[in-house]
Amino acid sequence: MNLKQIAKDTAKTLQSYLTYQALRTVLAQLGETNPPLELWLHNFSSGKIQNGESYIEQLLQEKPDLALRIMTVREHIAEEVMEFLPEMVRTGIQQANMEQRRQHLERITQLNLSNPSLQPEQQASSDPNLDNLSN
């Protein structure tokens, strides 16, 4: 397991996701202030946002002002969330793992209860002592 490579890949994925969030923010702003430009940016961005850096490079060639705006918003979002992110990720993974384990345990327990062939055979005959209680 190459932890440095995992960290690099995670950072790149997070960077692209923050680019996407910045794009959403800018689109919402443009929707209120400049709907034609919002439509252009929406159409331009369609299918290109998976790789945040490649997207920014392409947008810089088409409309540098929008690319710079998205980069500024992305940086602001990163500064605001990075303080909380490590603990939130750790806690989120721990809670999700616990929930997955709980659901798995419930499933296998229900499977065992609903499938008698997996349990020790129980006698179907009635207990004579219990028959005497009903008299």
**Tell me: the pLDDT tens digits for 42-101?**
999 999 999 999 999 999 999 999 999 999 999 999 999 988 998 999 999 999 999 999
User: What is the number of other CB atoms lying within 10 angstroms of the CB of residue 52?
Assistant: 24
Q: Specify the pTM.
A: 0.72
Residue 125 has pLDDT above 50, yes or no: no
The CA–CA distances, whole Å, from 9 to 6, 18, 19, 40, 86 equal 5, 14, 15, 31, 16
Six-digit token pair at 33? Answer: 């202030």
